[in-house]
Structure 1
Amino acid sequence: MGGKKGSVFFIISMLFVLMCGRAEAAAPDPIPRASGDIYVQDIANVLNPNEEAQLMQLGRTIEDQTSNQIAVLTVSSIGEEAIEDYANRAYREYGLGTKEEDNGVLLIVAMKEKKIRIEVGYGLEGIIPDGRAGRIIDENAVPSLQADQPNIAVMKTYGAIANAVSGEESKKGGTPAQENGSSIPSWLLILIAVAFIILDFMFFGGTLTFFLLSIFSRGGGGPRGGGGGSSGGGGASRGW
């Protein structure tokens, strides 16, 4: 009897150990803690300092003018989790956009799995619906990723997202800001800034942008975090 009880106890113990092991294996990878400005979390070291500085400045400009937040997260791996689930968790973790508007966008690149996704907050679904998010990835990211140029893919895709969320239609209430009929609309200034950064990066390696940032960003204030958004509302994913 004692031998049988011992065998039963051993079997139950082994099943318990196996169940715990499976539970641990199934647990999703933790989201990397945000460091510095929320706009760029380059955990996989895809970007060089020049490129990172360009995106930081662009992200600040977009938020200052529209309150929309764009963030990019690059990771070496997302484990066994689907990129859609990982991106949604990351969006919530970083609290992109404001609590009231939930107007954030997260670009995420998983290098090992060769997956990329644009996660869009509910407040910007009208500006970047799923179809548009897919086209942005197809046109700006996939060709560079397939050419083993993930930094170019991130730069172009971030710029395309910035163009999308800086237009008149993305402003609260959907009405363009006009002052005395003579001032330049803020959305146009943002488009000019985006075009300058992209052209500078394409033809001069970002030298001009980096020089200007070194002059104007010395006073800058502390790091900026997410504004409190709670959920992604849609988006698109691709492999390469």
Structure 2
Amino acid sequence: MGSKKIMNAMKPVNLQLKRLLQTSSFTLAVVLFPLVGLTLEVKDVPNPRQIHRTWVTDMAGILDQPTEAKINSLITHLEQQNGAEVAVVTVPETSPSASPKAFTTKLFNYWGIGKKGQNNGVLVLISKGDRRVEIETGYGVESILPNAKVGNIIDTQITPKFKQGDFNGGALAGTKALVVALENPSVSNQPTPIAIPPNSDTTTVAAEPAAISPEPTQDNNVLWGLLGVGGLISAIGTLAWRRRRVSIEPEGQSRFNGGSRTCFCATCKKRLEKVDDSIIQATLSQPEQVAQKIGSIKFEGWKCPNCSQQLTGSGYHRVAFVPRSGQFRECPTCEELTITHTTQTLQRPTQYSQGRRLITDKCQCCDYRTEREETIPRLPPPPPPSSSSGGGSSSSSYSGGSSNSSSGGGSFGGGDSGGGGAGGSW
């Protein structure tokens, strides 16, 4: 009887402790969320081919189930028709990668989207936090989807809907346009000029923190332990945030390597306020507009609320953030990072002969262009047939070139990308 009384007396304490742990776990999750965003690596992105044998990974939670089903159906039909592979991925943000473009190229090659030897893959990456969409193309489809055409798809099919908050509509329309182009290469392989979209305002919406009502508990040691862990994590997050800020004069122009950062006034040390994007867009030259469109530079304006009244010039500091992607070069004519690098396969390699590819460096703003040919190594011999697979059975991977390989599972086919494609912001 005595032990039973003790057990009954402990029930309220155990219940309070359980509720405390549940509340503390939620608190830690809220604290950890920005840190997760700061440390997203390509290996952390779930591969939809390995998990569900589908083509969509929605880490940002912006696509509903019907939209995912439609996108998967479109891509599956395309892959069954000609073997091309398209992946659609959403992420909260791409930090600490140098840029969304760099993250997209790395993820494309990490997964190996497209068939090996054909390199007929496309990756659509939507970064909600960066307000950026990137479309990466494999070597084998760059002639079907040149950078200018990809940029046109982004400008006309995707970002207009994203600006209205319609992520489902934009993702589906963009996927449809890519599938149509890949299904009809003879119609799609036409030059498309880059269109500079009209300026638009950008609105940033801050999420309200969830209110947590702590419950009293008799186990203060557990409470202080959890608070200590939360404080340590908050300190780590603060240090990471401070590494991503810069100090600049209240007026002038600067250029920094790496992604966008928070700016502080070098004179009064106060945090600067971001200038409306439409004001900055009006100051950009044509080469600067093109550079920002293709993702080689991001221009921002920062204004000091304390010192701006004493300034005699523009009243703000214009900053150019240059990603460390290495995918763009400075045009000798435009004197801006407007040169893109594309690759076209002239002769496919076989097991017995080398192939040839044409490398083109072209300015997206002027007529500057250079071309050179490279040799593609011979293909490795096929692996010996497995004794465990019966005659006529199909492979369970996507490494072959057959357009009927969608019946298997596993992963993407081992394709490569050299950084072709385009990007756009909303």
Q: Which residue of 2 aligns with 1:29?
A: 40
Q: Which residue of 1 aligns with 2:91?
A: 75
Using the alignment, how far apart are the partners of 2:109 and 2:39 within structure 1? Answer: 15
- State the secondary structure of the residue aligned to 2:123: strand
Output the amino acid matched with 2:40: D
Using the alignment, how far apart are the partners of 1:39 and 1:229 within structure 2? Answer: 15
Aligned partners of 1:39 and 1:72 also within 8 Å = yes
Using the alignment, how far apart are the partners of 1:231 and 1:28 within structure 2? Answer: 24
CA shift, 1:62, in A, is 0.3
Q: Which residue of 1 aligns with 2:161?
A: 144
Deviation per CA, 1:21-71, whole angstroms, max 9, x where unpaired? xxxxxx963120213235211111221111111111111110110111111
Which structure 2 residues correspond to residues 87-106 of structure 1 after superposition, within 5 A?
Answer: 87-106=104-123
Higher relative contact order (CA 8 A, sep 6+): 1
Using the alignment, how far apart are the partners of 1:101 and 1:116 within structure 2? Answer: 25
- State the secondary structure of the residue aligned to 1:71: strand
Q: Which residue of 2 aligns with 1:130?
A: 147
Aligned partners of 1:38 and 1:224 also within 8 Å = no
CA shift, 1:168, in A, is 4.5
Q: RMSD in angstroms over aligned alpha carbons?
A: 2.5
- State the secondary structure of the residue aligned to 2:180: helix
Aligned partners of 1:141 and 1:156 also within 8 Å = yes
Using the alignment, how far apart are the partners of 1:225 and 1:237 within structure 2? Answer: 25
- State the secondary structure of the residue aligned to 1:70: strand
Deviation per CA, 1:119-164, whole angstroms, max 9, x where unpaired? 0001000000010000000000111111011111101001110111
- State the secondary structure of the residue aligned to 2:134: strand
Q: Does 1:231 align with 2:248?
A: no
Unaligned runs of 5+ in 2: 1-37, 189-344, 346-405
Change (3 A) 1:223 1:50: farther
Unaligned runs of 5+ in 1: 1-26, 174-219
Aligned partners of 1:44 and 1:111 also within 8 Å = yes
Between Structure 1 and Structure 2, the one with more helix by share is 1
Aligned partners of 1:38 and 1:225 also within 8 Å = no
Q: Which residue of 2 aligns with 1:49?
A: 65
- State the secondary structure of the residue aligned to 1:72: strand
Aligned partners of 2:139 and 2:416 also within 8 Å = no
Match of 1:62 among 78, 93, 101: 78
Change (3 A) 1:227 1:162: same
Q: Which residue of 2 aligns with 1:85?
A: 102
Which structure 2 residues correspond to residues 2-21 of structure 1 after superposition, within 5 A?
Answer: none
- State the secondary structure of the residue aligned to 1:74: strand
Output the amino acid matched with 1:162: V
Aligned partners of 1:101 and 1:229 also within 8 Å = yes
The structure number with the bigger radius of gyration is: 2
- State the secondary structure of the residue aligned to 1:141: helix
- State the secondary structure of the residue aligned to 2:411: coil
Change (3 A) 1:235 1:168: closer
Output the amino acid matched with 1:225: S
TM-score normalised over the length of structure 1: 0.65
Using the alignment, how far apart are the partners of 2:129 and 2:160 within structure 1? Answer: 17
- State the secondary structure of the residue aligned to 2:148: helix
Judge which range, 227-236 or 69-78, deviates more.
Answer: 227-236
CA shift, 1:230, in A, is 2.5
Using the alignment, how far apart are the partners of 2:144 and 2:39 within structure 1? Answer: 31
Q: Which residue of 2 aligns with 1:113?
A: 130
TM-score normalised over the length of structure 2: 0.37
How high is the sequence identity, in percent, across the aligned residues?
29
Matched positions, count: 169
Q: Which residue of 1 aligns with 2:284?
A: none
Deviation per CA, 1:68-111, whole angstroms, max 9, x where unpaired? 11110100111142011100011012211111110100000000
Using the alignment, how far apart are the partners of 2:41 and 2:421 within structure 1? Answer: 21
Using the alignment, how far apart are the partners of 1:30 and 1:102 within structure 2? Answer: 23
CA shift, 1:233, in A, is 4.0
Aligned partners of 1:62 and 1:162 also within 8 Å = yes
Output the amino acid matched with 1:238: G
Output the amino acid matched with 2:82: T
